[in-house]
Amino acid sequence: MKTIIEFIKNEWNSFSKNTKIALAVLVSLFALFVIFAIQILFWGLGYTDMNNTFAMGLWIIGDLGFVALGGGAFFTGFMLYILRVDKLEPLINSTVLIGFMCYLFTFVLLVFDIGQPLRAWFGYAYPNWGAHLMPQSMLTEVVWCLTFYFLVLCVELIPIPLKHKILDKIPVLHYTGHYLHRLMWIMAAVGTFLSFFHQGSLGGGMWDVLYGKPGWWRAHHQLFFLAIVAATAGGTCMMIMVPKIAERIMKKEVAPKESFWTLAKISGVMFIFYFVFRIYDVYTMTTQFVPLADRTFASTLGGYYGWTTLIPELLLALVPIAILNVKKLREQENLLFIAVICGASAIVFSKIGVVLNGFSVPLFPWRGFATYMPTIQEWLILFGSIATMILIYMGFAAYLPLFPHLEKHEHHE
Amino acid sequence: MMTVRWGMSIDLDKCTGCGACQVSCMQENNMPIFDEDSDIPKRVTFLDLMKVTNDFQGDKKYGEVQTAFVPKMCMQCSGNDPQHPQPPCVSVCPVVATDVGDDGVVSQIWSRCIGCRYCQAACPYEARVFNWWKPRYQGDFARGLNPDVSVASRGAVVKCTFCSHIWKRERDKAISRGETDINKVTYTPACASACPTGAIVFGDLNNPNSPVFETRLKNDPRAVRMVHSIDQQPENERARRMRIKNYPNPKVYYLSSQKWLRDILSAFQNS
């Protein structure tokens, strides 16, 4: 025990002033997260601003955002292990860790979001399967796919800590890590399959089947496939953005520039698909789907969350299209950074739009658009989750071989 | 096999907005009453007595403003095909906590519900409510709870079931009398029995002798269904749309001789 305290003390003293401030803020957010978590879990969701009109809120936006951005892990894994884009190798550890944390905290937020957390296992015990064992409820599919993909991410993550200098010297752990790594293409294939489906169902399919709601309903699972494309586009941006931030903080090159550029190129192409698909989505909503309920698409875009989320989403999506698809531009450090931030934000805006606007669209002609203002509990549970994710990432970056390139680099020095 | 399809008609010309239906519903179904029940968005009530006015845009002059009270409960939607009912809220439940019976009533198992509120998101009538707080009953109210309805715990979604527990009670009584034809069992939900003006009428939509025979209601110029604009479309357009999309097809009809009320209840205008 004494040695651990001594170690923490020594580490703390070795940090710079800025790191100390950052750590203090993050740990405080985590502490507030724990306090409000206890309040919500023991006294219920009455402390949120969700209500019978706005049945879901900030946490479900967090879930949708985490899963979509964490979805970059499945797509990068697919590119590296299945399509053999070997240049992505130096980024894969960071990618897997971000994916793992995003999915972990999706579960955490889901536990807060359901009114009966102790009955969370009902999703496995009484799943709503339809004919031919096809899931009838989109949430059933989400629960099962998320669980299995999370297990896959665990297996993908294990070799990273096992490569630590001390652990690697133990033969059993060395060989376990080695063979797990050899099997990674199977994990990547399974992960791609699972992630493909729940990306679609949580981000899109869950909403486009609600035929009673003109703000959401679309035929042919249009939003389902749109959400998959969104995850591949926004997720890859996230997988560039996080190591880039780490690079700026650590003032070291964490991965070769070519790796970032390759992933940026893929992301740029996916954003073109996303933008075209989203425009098609808006077009079909305007001409086909909303008119079936004798309303106009424009009339469902009022309130605080209609145009105000759609327009920024489309504008932000244009930035990565313009920058990441041009070799000269994406190879400029600052432009690349701006493009990936805009890309990830575009996808987050799309999720905000889906959830908030969908709930705010009035159901009765004599009603106006509903509004929602998250309470301090909702904000701090979300920010506390993000702070915890940052802390875990910092821990991995500082003590484990998160960036193999960095280690090689240091070795040469 | 049930041949009965329970439905309801509410004559808004007779409704005085007294609220007896809402009170009796809350008492019959063990609804908790909170101090802050003016906080309508978090209120737990199966039957909402909505105040509807033609001045919702604030453009009507003095003397033109008209108001009506509209009792709104679960519409027990059946989707396009009543033979194979597909209410918007049933297929979405991840844990099979809600189902639709062969009498068309959409049920909910309080103790199975995990409180994900996905069914609330799916419901086009805001008919489902969530227990945001732990249910509390003030004073002697707890001793007067209805033993036929289980008290939902905090964090579960609850809904109107057309008081199907009363049907079960009547069925058991009939069986004890030796009557075994399940389709002959009739009952009246709490809201209909409490209505002092007889505005709420309940019965079998399939039975021509019933006061709510559906074919008659569909041809009644005074009848509309809530926010179900497809009813106003010509037959071929209706058929075309129903090939593309499911519609809620609710089982509650509203009757009114006032055109403005029928217009505002049935569809979004000028949108």
Please give the pLDDT value at position A359.
94
* Contact flag A122-B114 (C-beta cutoff 8 Å): yes
Mean pLDDT of A304-333: 94
Q: What is the pLDDT of residue A116?
A: 93
| 3-state class (DSSP) for residue A209 | coil
Among A39, A56, A64, A116, which would you mutate to test the B interface (most chain B Cβ atoms within 10 Å of its Cβ)?
A116
How high is the pLDDT of residue A387? 96
> Using 50, 70 and 90 to split pLDDT, how confident is the model at B137?
confident
pLDDT band at A155 (very low <50, low <70, confident <90, very high): confident
Instruction: Please check whether residue B126 touches A, CB under 8 A.
Output: yes
| Mean local confidence (pLDDT), A383-411 | 85
pLDDT of A133 strictly over 80: no
pLDDT tops 90 at residue A13: no
Q: What integer pLDDT is reported at residue B108 of this predicted model?
A: 93
Q: Which residue of A has its CA nearest to B159?
A: A52
CB of A114 less than 8 A from some CB of B: yes
How high is the pLDDT of residue A383? Answer: 96
- Taking an 8 Å cut-off on Cβ atoms, the answer to whether A119 and B132 are in contact is no
Strands ordered across the beta sheet of B252-255: B200-204, B6-11, B252-255, B223-224
CB burial of A106-130 (b: ≥16 within 10 Å; e: otherwise) equals bebbbebbbbbeebbebbeebbbee
**Residue A240 near residue A343, CB atoms below 8 Å:** no
- How many angstroms separate the CA of residue B184 from the nearest CA in chain A? 33
The pLDDT value recorded for residue B37 is: 60
Rounded mean pLDDT of A372-376? 94
Give mean pLDDT, residues A74-87. Answer: 88
CB B68 within 8 A of CB B256: yes
Q: State the amino acid at position A298 in one-letter form.
A: A
Q: How confident is the model at residue B52 (pLDDT cuts 50, 70, 90)?
A: very high
**A171 shares contact with chain B (CB less than 8 Å):** no
pLDDT band at A413 (very low <50, low <70, confident <90, very high): very low
How many percent of chain A have pLDDT more than 70?
99
On whether the CB atoms of residues A261 and A340 are closer than 8 A, the answer is no
Give the whole-angstrom CA distance, residue A61 versus residue A46: 19
What is the arithmetic mean of pLDDT over B129-136? 91
B49 lies within 8 A of chain A by CB? no
Higher pLDDT, A338 or A221: A338
B36 C-beta neighbours (distance < 10 Å), count = 10
**pLDDT for position B271:** 46
The per-residue pLDDT for range B154-200, each reduced to its tens digit, is: 999 999 999 999 999 999 999 999 998 989 999 999 999 999 999 99
Q: If contacts are CB pairs under 8 Å, which of residues 198-237 in chain B contact chain A?
A: 226-227, 229-230, 232
pLDDT at A131 > cutoff 80: no
Compute and round to an integer the Cα radius of gyration of chain A: 22
Q: Does A211 touch chain B (CB under 8 A)?
A: yes
* Whether B206 contacts B240, CB under 8 Å: no
Contacts of A101 (CB under 8 A, 6+ apart): A70, A389, A392, A393
Using one digit for the tens of pLDDT, what is the confidence trace for B80-113?
A: 999 899 999 999 999 999 999 989 999 999 999 9
Mean per-residue pLDDT for A303-324? 94
B91 to A54: CB separation less than 8 angstroms, yes or no: no
User: Which of B74, B8, B76, B2 has the alpha carbon at shortest distance from B249?
Assistant: B76
Quote the minimal CA–CA distance from A46 to chain B in Å: 5
Summarised one tens digit per residue, pLDDT across range A267-298 is 999 999 999 999 999 999 999 999 999 999 99
Is residue B227 within 8 Å of residue A363, measured between CB atoms? Answer: yes
Helix, strand, coil % in chain A, rounded to nearest 5: 80, 0, 20
- pLDDT-derived band at B39 (thresholds 50, 70, 90) equals low
Interface test with B, best of A47, A146, A220, A366 (most B CBs within 10 A): A366
Inter-chain CB proximity A211 and B123 less than 8 Å? no
Residue of B nearest to A109 (CA): B116
B114 contacts A120? CB cut-off 8 A: yes
Q: How large is the average pLDDT for residues A40-44?
A: 92
Do the Cβ atoms of A116 and B158 come closer than 8 Å? Answer: no
Residue B269 sits at the chain A interface (C-beta within 8 Å): yes
Mean pLDDT for chain A overall? 90
**Percent of residues, chain B, with pLDDT higher than 90:** 76
- Confidence (pLDDT) at B147: 92
| 26-45 of A, contacting B, C-beta below 8 A | 43-45
pLDDT at A410: 62
What's the pLDDT score for residue A399? 85
Which residue, A14, A165, A25, is CA-closest to A6? A14
Specify the higher pLDDT residue, A285 or A9: A285
Give the residue from chain A lying closest to B124, CA to CA: A212
The b/e string for B104-125 (b: 16+ C-beta within 10 A; e otherwise) is bbbbbebebbbbbbbbbbbbbb
User: Who among B88, B117, B134 is closest to A212 (CB)?
Assistant: B88
- Collapse the DSSP code of B202 into the 3-class scheme (helix H, G, I; strand E, B; otherwise coil) and give the result: strand
Classify residue A289 by its DSSP letter: I
